[in-house]
Amino acid sequence: MHSLSPHQFIDVIARAGSIRKAAEALAITSTALNRRVLALEEELGLPIFERLPRGVRLSTAGELLVTHLRNQASDFERLRSQLADLAGERRGHVALACSQALLPFFMPEQIGRYRRDHPGVSFAVHLRDRAAAEAALVEHAADIALIFEPIRLSEVQILSTVRQTIHAVMAADHPLAGKEVLRLRDCAAFPVGLPTAQYGVRHLIDLALQRVSVRLRVALESDNFDFLRRYPAQEQLISFQIPIGLPGGASAEGVISRPVDTRDVPEGRLYLCQLRGRTLPVAAAKFAAQVEGALESRFDG
């Protein structure tokens, strides 16, 4: 870590929000790291960080510097990826920010498919829902993001969107299992499990409940969709999920799913996106194209 340039140290400190934490991550002393920061600030003639009682925060000059550093790192990674392609062997690293529903089934399938053709490409997959996914793109912590019902999309380029109808998940022998489509009033007769407020599925259900006279009996809340998908096998409880987060075909977990009528709960949108104005490295761009094709072949565009 000692071979890192002073400019690289700045990015580590910015992410950590503390010189002490950054020094621990870099395996050097905080005194030595602080000296490097002070030397760079003297060279630039401007403070890079605002010193706070519990850490540091980028100054305006520091924000400009970090943006420049991240762009440089991205440009270099893109060059490496292009050179590897010229040599006939795709290499590189793809960082993904994903809504939770993508993690159990869809993303393992897509990464496995890609790496079978290009084993020299590595991946980092991070759970980032809604606002956090866009922040990861802006900070260059992610190359591409797959987000269900994001809070805002002001700084991203949308590569593809697909519709996702909310599904009710229940035991295979549930009294409602014979219905092809459920209404919210059907679900109201049973206890339900809901995701916590920060998730897009919950957001859509809450909006729906504001418009209709139905009241749901919430027996469970969780921030873990895997738990909510599996729990209905234990009792006659209904949870909710989007299709991309459900196993294909018959479930071996003792549960099934049925779409909720869109007259009650509107469809949501799943967005595949990248940072606006950024040219992705070859490996990330090709993976994004693969994912776009998979989404559009599996779901309505």
pLDDT tens for 2-12 read 466 656 788 88
Q: Categorize the per-residue pLDDT at 301 as very low, low, confident or very high, splitting at 50, 70 and 90.
A: very low
Residue pointed to by tokens 């393992």: 108
| Same topology between domain 1-89 and domain 166-266 | no
Measured at the CA of 286, the angle between CA 117 and CA 126, to 5 degrees, comes to 90
CATH match of 1-89 with 1.10.10.10: yes
The percent of residues in the chain predicted with pLDDT above 70, rounded, is: 91
Q: Is the pLDDT confidence value at 99 over 60?
A: yes
Written as one letter, the residue type at 83 is: L
Q: Is the pLDDT confidence value at 121 over 70?
A: yes
Q: Which two tokens stand for residue 74?
A: 């991205």
Q: What is the 3-state secondary structure (H, E, C) of the chain?
A: CCCCCHHHHHHHHHHHCCHHHHHHHHCCCHHHHHHHHHHHHHHHCCCCEEEECCEEEECHHHHHHHHHHHHHHHHHHHHHHHHHHHCCCCCEEEEEEECHHHCCCHHHHHHHHHHHHCCCEEEEEEECCCHHHHHHHHCCCCCEEEEECCCCCCCEEEEEEEEECCEEEEECCCCCCCCCCECHHHHCCCEEEEECCCCHHHHHHHHHHHHCCCCCEEEEEECCHHHHHHHHHCCCCEEEECHHHCCCCCCCCCEEEEEECCCCCCCEEEEEEEECCCCCCHHHHHHHHHHHHHHHHHCCC
Average pLDDT, the chain: 88
Class of the 166-266 domain? Answer: alpha beta
Among 2-16, 38-52, 145-159, 203-217, which is the least confidently predicted range?
2-16
Mean local confidence (pLDDT), 20-39: 86
Tens digits of residue pLDDT in 160-190:
999 999 999 999 999 999 999 999 999 999 9
Pairing of strands 238-241, 167-171: antiparallel
* Per-residue pLDDT at 100: 92
List the domain boundaries for the chain. Answer: 1-89, 90-163+269-298, 166-266
Q: Categorize the per-residue pLDDT at 255 as very low, low, confident or very high, splitting at 50, 70 and 90.
A: very high
Closest C-alpha to 230, from 170, 189, 188: 170
Mean pLDDT is highest, among 59-68, 75-84, 158-167, for 158-167
Residue pointed to by tokens 């469809």: 267
Pairing of strands 156-164, 268-275: antiparallel
pTM: 0.72
The percent of residues in the chain predicted with pLDDT above 90, rounded, is: 55
Cα dihedral sign, 280-286-292-294: negative
Q: Categorize the per-residue pLDDT at 81 as very low, low, confident or very high, splitting at 50, 70 and 90.
A: low
Mean pLDDT is highest, among 75-79, 128-132, 284-288, for 284-288
Closest C-alpha to 27, from 41, 9, 39, 42: 9
Please give the Cα distance from 232 to 194 (Å, whole number): 12
Pairing of strands 92-98, 121-127: parallel
Beta bridge partners of 163: 269
* Distant-in-sequence, close-in-space partners of 159: CB < 8 Å, separation ≥ 6: 144, 272, 273, 274, 288, 292
Q: Which fold has domain 90-163+269-298?
A: D-Maltodextrin-Binding Protein; domain 2 (3.40.190)
Mean local confidence (pLDDT), 79-84: 67
* Per-residue pLDDT at 168: 97
* Per-residue pLDDT at 151: 82
